[in-house]
């Protein structure tokens, strides 16, 4: 038998040929199987064979001119008729890009910012595939006044003309022209005549440079930017083509390192943007074979030249490899709408009077005129450097205030939220605060349920504050849902916590109403939360979802699931108490369970959001309550027993006095993992949807991603009337001056008689004395006693309202006077 070595060629040339054949067979297998077209498209073996031949085998057969058109025609002519059939799997994201820009156009038409039938220019439109696909989102013949498909390849343009002849769309025109030279006024008589009148007697370089004289409401590029050698003038021309309120949509391949974009605040977020070095090297080299360029400058210049509305970084899982691509939606960088709103938005963020447009000049800022928000300061820095404004300035709504997502104080949350629902009784809040239309409310955002309840009261302004960006992403999702969706969809999302069509809703309906950072977050995480069949829904996500899972596992292991369902379905308190006493009480009030789980500091923080300082307050109250009987025993057992007693005093009165199935959705959710039509938060009622879905329902909402102290420090003095800090004051350690700083800042920002409402795990929180020293009159308006509920949640020991009686300057004057008097007495 011959040895294996006799079958292997020893000539180096033959070895190279053999290697190339192996690679060719491998590549052919990839494109033959991984590029299988979707239903309804050609699927013949012949189509993929032509594709493989044109891309990897066919030699250059151009006219020898070396022009870009010659190169394109040499590449596409042999495969023009199978182009669409062989690009379905390779060119991902095209439909998503079309869905995003279609949603933006529909919103702008409904908002009357686009007053006429739009014009669409598709640069590098090739066979016209994008235009036909757009018809799934918008009626191309009826919605658009004119559509221009611009491409430099005659073969692809011929395919596009045949497509639109078949479809019978008369408003679509195919232009075989270099994108650098395309000018809309040459094809739009109305725009040309208008420009001639406006520019009469003026010397101009480009008749399209005055967008007010006419322009396209939509410009798109689908996997074209990476194939244009001189891309700078093409991107520059977009500004000329675009109307003032127009939208740009781009989808293309890319590779980029985080070093290149990490210092930029205008990219709309960087989720999944970084590519590993091996990915960068491989894909750049691979695509250069076909004159496709993936250098970072193309995307960078696009983001520099225009303003970012939405940005997406994704991977095409292509036969086991992850091919990076991006989707980008933008607008004019220096549009009048963005710069005109700059001062107005800053005023709303800081409760300042409307700031003069003169403040937008790039000269020195008069710091003593008004306080400035961080967003305003970042915008000024960008304007001084001729950069686009941060992405948040280009949103359709200005609910979300710009923040620096790269700061460690934000990244420490690991791109996740703790609370998927809010543990604050909104009914008790409404009763205690009695919000009026003149109130300016600042409250911790958490999961946003309480913020929506405040919006139902229609105050002049609601400032939602949370340091965790993901918590604010959740609030944004809720606000966008009320703005864009009907009640049935809102209920599925936040009542049931599941929606099979979440991704479609996000792209086609919610995207115009979200910031780029929030949209990126939910595109990345939302499908796995809301629509994945393996997911149990929204309320099992985040840190609080761990608690719900534990409860479910515990009752399942103990065989008490039927009792749990019966408890949640009980129609009377007597029935509910009976079920509780006979089976469930002994489980939840088990000392071993409390010691193993609820007394664990890591569990308390990660699952329930209880910090160590708050736990210390619970243990301190426990020691005080038992000290008169046995001080030594109390000290020894407080760590194990304090949480047990606290849990006992929490759950027992809830079950005895509130009916879960109709009036206590807080505990119903923890047991079922979803709400029911008869038991849910106020904001999820049909009546609330009617109010929150009105056009101006959230016009006064501002969402701040920062510490409370940072936000109120930049508020104009004496402007807030209500501040709700939940139990956040419990988080401050008694040692140190963090609480003092925040309380002093609250005094400065509040009007006289303005109120701070807080809840505490302690009966007499130590920081109440600090409030009183800083000019507040403090009153405990609710206290938890054994056997009774403080509210439907019953999770806190006390509720306080601290009313500002005097300004901090007056209190400082009193202190100085006392010090002076003491000095005189000593003398």
Q: Are 701 and 462 in contact (CB under 8 A)?
A: yes
Using CB atoms within 10 Å of the CB of residue 255, give its burial: 0 to 12 exposed, 13 to 18 middle, 19+ buried: buried
* Residue 459: other Cβ atoms inside 10 A: 20
β-partners of residue 441 are 462, 722
Q: Are 120 and 144 in contact (CB under 8 A)?
A: yes
Q: Hunting for tokens 């807030």 — which residue is that?
A: 720
Q: Are 703 and 472 in contact (CB under 8 A)?
A: yes
Give CA–CA dist 3/58, Å, rounded: 37
Give CA–CA dist 504/565, Å, rounded: 33
pLDDT digits (tens, 9 = 90+) for 606-617: 445 567 777 788
- C-alpha distances in angstroms, 460 versus 442, 465, 701, 734, 752? 11, 17, 9, 35, 18
**Of 199 and 205, the one with more pLDDT:** 199
What percent of the chain shows pLDDT beyond 90? 51
Give CA–CA dist 293/207, Å, rounded: 30
- C-alpha distances in angstroms, 537 versus 292, 330, 540, 549, 818? 42, 32, 6, 11, 59
- At 322 the three-state DSSP class reads strand
pLDDT digits (tens, 9 = 90+) for 27-85: 555 555 544 544 444 444 555 555 555 555 555 555 555 565 555 555 555 455 555 55
91-197+205-333 — its CATH code? 3.40.50.150
Task: Write down the mean pLDDT value for the chain.
Answer: 82
- 100-123 core/surface letters (b: 16 or more CB in 10 A; e: else): bbbbbbbbbbeeeebeeebbbbbb
Give CA–CA dist 423/357, Å, rounded: 42
Give CA–CA dist 271/249, Å, rounded: 19
Q: Which two tokens stand for residue 543?
A: 């840190």
Please tell me the predicted confidence (pLDDT) of residue 491. Answer: 98
Using CB atoms within 10 Å of the CB of residue 144, give its burial: 0 to 12 exposed, 13 to 18 middle, 19+ buried: buried
Q: Are 667 and 808 in contact (CB under 8 A)?
A: no
- Lowest-pLDDT choice from 61-75, 157-171, 585-599: 61-75
Task: Flag whether pLDDT at 589 surpasses 80.
Answer: no
Please tell me the predicted confidence (pLDDT) of residue 341. Answer: 66
- Lowest-pLDDT choice from 215-219, 535-539, 559-563: 559-563
- Lowest-pLDDT choice from 22-26, 282-286, 691-695, 698-702: 22-26
β-partners of residue 440 are 461
pLDDT digits (tens, 9 = 90+) for 137-150: 999 999 999 999 99
Q: Dump the DSSP string for 521-588.
A: HHHHHHIIIII-TT---GGGSHHHHHHHHHHHHHHHHTT-HHHHHHHHH--SHHHHHHHIIIIIHHHH
Using CB atoms within 10 Å of the CB of residue 371, give its burial: 0 to 12 exposed, 13 to 18 middle, 19+ buried: middle
Q: Hunting for tokens 């109403």 — which residue is that?
A: 513
Task: Flag whether pLDDT at 630 surpasses 90.
Answer: no
Q: Which two tokens stand for residue 260?
A: 């290149």
β-partners of residue 322 are 317
Give CA–CA dist 710/300, Å, rounded: 32
Maximum mean pLDDT: which of 645-649, 704-708, 730-734: 704-708
Please tell me the predicted confidence (pLDDT) of residue 818. Answer: 57
Give CA–CA dist 128/827, Å, rounded: 93
Give CA–CA dist 616/622, Å, rounded: 10
Maximum mean pLDDT: which of 23-32, 205-214, 262-271: 262-271
- Lowest-pLDDT choice from 113-127, 220-234, 329-343, 519-533: 329-343
Q: Which two tokens stand for residue 319?
A: 């036969």
Which has the closest alpha carbon to 394: 469, 303, 313? 303
Tell me the whole-structure pTM to 2 decimals.
0.85
Torsion of CA 389, 390, 394, 396, to 10 degrees: -150
Quickly count helices (H) and strands (E) in the chain.
Answer: 36, 14
Give CA–CA dist 215/242, Å, rounded: 5
Give CA–CA dist 250/330, Å, rounded: 9
Task: Flag whether pLDDT at 660 surpasses 50.
Answer: yes
Q: Kindly state the average pLDDT of the residues 127-132.
A: 92
Give CA–CA dist 628/635, Å, rounded: 12
Give CA–CA dist 128/173, Å, rounded: 10
pLDDT digits (tens, 9 = 90+) for 726-768: 988 998 888 888 899 999 999 999 999 999 999 998 999 999 9
**Of 463 and 367, the one with more pLDDT:** 463
Task: Flag whether pLDDT at 347 surpasses 80.
Answer: no
Task: Flag whether pLDDT at 779 surpasses 90.
Answer: yes
Give CA–CA dist 194/198, Å, rounded: 6
What are the backbone angles phi and psi of residue 152, rounded to the nearest 5°?
A: -95, -10
- Lowest-pLDDT choice from 92-106, 444-458, 502-516, 537-551: 537-551
What's 420's DSSP letter? S
Which has the closest alpha carbon to 756: 733, 779, 736? 779
Q: Are 253 and 295 in contact (CB under 8 A)?
A: no
Please tell me the predicted confidence (pLDDT) of residue 212. Answer: 41
Q: Kindly state the average pLDDT of the residues 675-691.
A: 96
Please tell me the predicted confidence (pLDDT) of residue 547. Answer: 83
**Of 52 and 100, the one with more pLDDT:** 100
Kindly report the CA angle at 185 between 180 and 190, in degrees rounded to 5?
160
Task: Flag whether pLDDT at 290 surpasses 80.
Answer: no
Please tell me the predicted confidence (pLDDT) of residue 358. Answer: 34
Q: Hunting for tokens 């408003």 — which residue is that?
A: 171
pLDDT digits (tens, 9 = 90+) for 388-411: 999 988 999 989 999 999 899 999
β-partners of residue 311 are 328
Q: Which of the listed CATH numbers 1.10.20, 3.30.110, 3.40.50, 1.20.1510 matches domain 721-818?
A: 3.30.110
Q: Kindly state the average pLDDT of the residues 681-701.
A: 95
Using CB atoms within 10 Å of the CB of residue 330, give its burial: 0 to 12 exposed, 13 to 18 middle, 19+ buried: buried
pLDDT-derived band at 359, boundaries 50, 70, 90: very low
Helix axes 12-33, 45-52, angle to 10 degrees: 140
Q: Are 166 and 158 in contact (CB under 8 A)?
A: no
Task: Flag whether pLDDT at 497 surpasses 60.
Answer: yes
What are the backbone angles phi and psi of residue 344, rounded to the nearest 5°?
A: -65, -40
pLDDT-derived band at 274, boundaries 50, 70, 90: very high
Please tell me the predicted confidence (pLDDT) of residue 773. Answer: 93
What's 44's DSSP letter? -
* Rg from Cα positions in the chain: 32
What percent of the chain shows pLDDT beyond 70? 76
Helix, strand, coil percent values for the chain (each to nearest 5): 50, 15, 35
Residues with Cβ within 8 Å of residue 112, at least 6 apart in sequence: none
Q: Kindly state the average pLDDT of the residues 346-367.
A: 52
pLDDT-derived band at 300, boundaries 50, 70, 90: very high
Please tell me the predicted confidence (pLDDT) of residue 22. Answer: 66
User: Taking the domains of the chain in order of start, what are their residue ranges?
Assistant: 4-63+72-85, 91-197+205-333, 337-393, 410-534+677-706, 542-672, 721-818
- At 113 the three-state DSSP class reads coil
- Compute the half-sphere exposure of residue 124: CA atoms within 13 Å on the CB side of its CA: 23
């Amino acid at each position: 038998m011959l040895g294996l070595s006799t079958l292997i060629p020893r000539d180096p040339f033959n070895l190279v040929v053999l290697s190339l054949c192996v690679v060719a067979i491998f590549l052919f297998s990839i494109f033959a199987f991984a590029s299988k077209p979707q239903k309804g498209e050609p699927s013949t073996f012949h189509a993929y064979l032509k594709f493989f031949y044109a891309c990897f085998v066919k030699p250059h057969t151009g006219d020898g001119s070396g022009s870009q058109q010659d190169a394109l025609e040499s590449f596409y002519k042999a495969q023009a008729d199978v182009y669409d059939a062989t690009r379905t799997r390779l060119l991902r994201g095209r439909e998503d890009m079309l869905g995003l820009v279609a949603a933006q156009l529909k919103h702008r038409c409904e908002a009357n910012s686009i007053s006429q039938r739009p014009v669409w220019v598709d640069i590098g439109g090739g066979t016209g595939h994008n235009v036909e696909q757009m018809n799934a989102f918008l009626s191309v013949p009826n919605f658009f006044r004119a559509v221009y498909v611009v491409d430099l390849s005659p073969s692809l343009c011929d395919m596009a003309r045949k497509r639109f002849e078949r479809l019978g769309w008369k408003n679509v025109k195919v232009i075989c022209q270099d994108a650098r030279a395309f000018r809309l006024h040459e094809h739009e008589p109305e725009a040309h005549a208008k420009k001639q009148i406006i520019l009469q007697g003026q010397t101009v370089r480009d008749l399209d440079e005055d967008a007010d004289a006419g322009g396209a409401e939509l410009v798109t590029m689908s996997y074209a930017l990476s194939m244009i050698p001189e891309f700078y003038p093409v991107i520059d021309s977009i500004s000329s083509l675009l109307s003032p309120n127009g939208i740009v949509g781009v989808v293309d391949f890319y590779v980029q390192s985080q070093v290149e974009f990490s210092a930029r605040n205008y990219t709309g977020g960087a989720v999944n943007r970084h590519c590993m070095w091996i990915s960068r090297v491989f894909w750049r080299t691979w695509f250069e074979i076909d004159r496709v360029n993936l250098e970072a400058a193309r995307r960078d210049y696009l983001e520099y030249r225009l303003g970012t509305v939405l940005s997406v970084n994704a991977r095409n899982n292509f036969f086991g490899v992850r091919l990076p691509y991006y989707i980008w939606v933008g607008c004019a960088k220096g549009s009048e709408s963005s710069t005109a709103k700059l001062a107005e938005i800053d005023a709303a963020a800081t409760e300042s009077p409307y700031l003069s447009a003169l403040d937008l000049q790039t000269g020195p800022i008069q710091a003593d005129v008004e306080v400035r928000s961080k967003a305003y300061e970042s915008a000024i820095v960008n304007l001084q450097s001729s950069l686009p404004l941060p992405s948040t300035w280009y949103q359709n709504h200005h609910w979300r205030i710009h923040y620096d997502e790269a700061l460690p104080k934000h990244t420490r949350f690991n791109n996740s939220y703790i609370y998927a629902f809010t543990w604050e009784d909104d009914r008790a809040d409404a009763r205690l605060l009695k919000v009026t239309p003149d109130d300016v409310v600042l409250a911790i955002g958490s999961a946003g349920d309480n913020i929506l309840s405040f919006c139902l009261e229609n105050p002049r302004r609601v400032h939602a504050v949370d340091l965790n960006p993901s918590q604010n992403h959740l609030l944004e999702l809720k606000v966008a849902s009320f703005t864009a969706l009907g009640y049935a969809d809102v209920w599925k999302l936040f009542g049931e916590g599941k929606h099979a069509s979440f991704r479609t809703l996000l792209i086609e309906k919610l995207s115009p109403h979200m910031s780029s950072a929030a949209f990126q977050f939910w595109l990345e995480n939302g499908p796995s939360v809301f629509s994945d069949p393996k997911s149990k829904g929204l309320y099992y996500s985040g840190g609080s979802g761990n608690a719900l899972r534990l409860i479910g596992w515990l009752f399942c292991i103990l065989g008490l699931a039927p009792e749990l369902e019966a408890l949640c379905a009980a129609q009377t308190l007597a029935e509910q108490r009976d079920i509780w006493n006979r089976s469930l009480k002994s489980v939840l009030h088990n000392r071993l369970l409390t010691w193993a789980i609820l007394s664990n500091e890591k569990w308390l923080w990660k699952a329930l959001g209880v910090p160590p300082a708050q736990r210390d307050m619970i243990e301190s109250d426990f020691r005080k309550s038992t000290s008169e009987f046995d001080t030594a025993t109390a000290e020894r057992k407080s760590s194990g027993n304090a949480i047990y007693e606290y849990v006992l005093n929490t759950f027992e009165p809830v079950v005895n006095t509130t009916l879960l199935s109709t009036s206590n959705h807080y505990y119903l959710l923890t047991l079922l993992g979803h709400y029911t039509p008869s038991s849910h938060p106020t904001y999820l009622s049909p009546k609330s949807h009617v109010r929150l879905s009105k056009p101006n329902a959230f016009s006064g909402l501002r969402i701040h991603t920062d510490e409370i102290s940072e936000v109120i420090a930049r508020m104009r003095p004496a402007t807030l009337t209500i501040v709700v800090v939940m139990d956040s004051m419990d988080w401050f350690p008694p040692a140190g001056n963090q609480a003092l700083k925040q309380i002093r800042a609250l005094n400065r920002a509040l009007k006289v008689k303005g109120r701070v409402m807080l809840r505490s795990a302690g009966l007499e929180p130590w920081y109440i004395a600090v409030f009183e020293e800083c000019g507040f009159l403090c009153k405990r308006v609710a206290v938890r006693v054994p056997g009774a509920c403080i509210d439907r949640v019953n999770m806190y020991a006390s509720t306080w309202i601290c009313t500002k009686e005097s300004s901090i300057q007056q209190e400082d004057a009193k202190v100085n006077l006392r010090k002076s008097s003491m000095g005189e007495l000593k003398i």
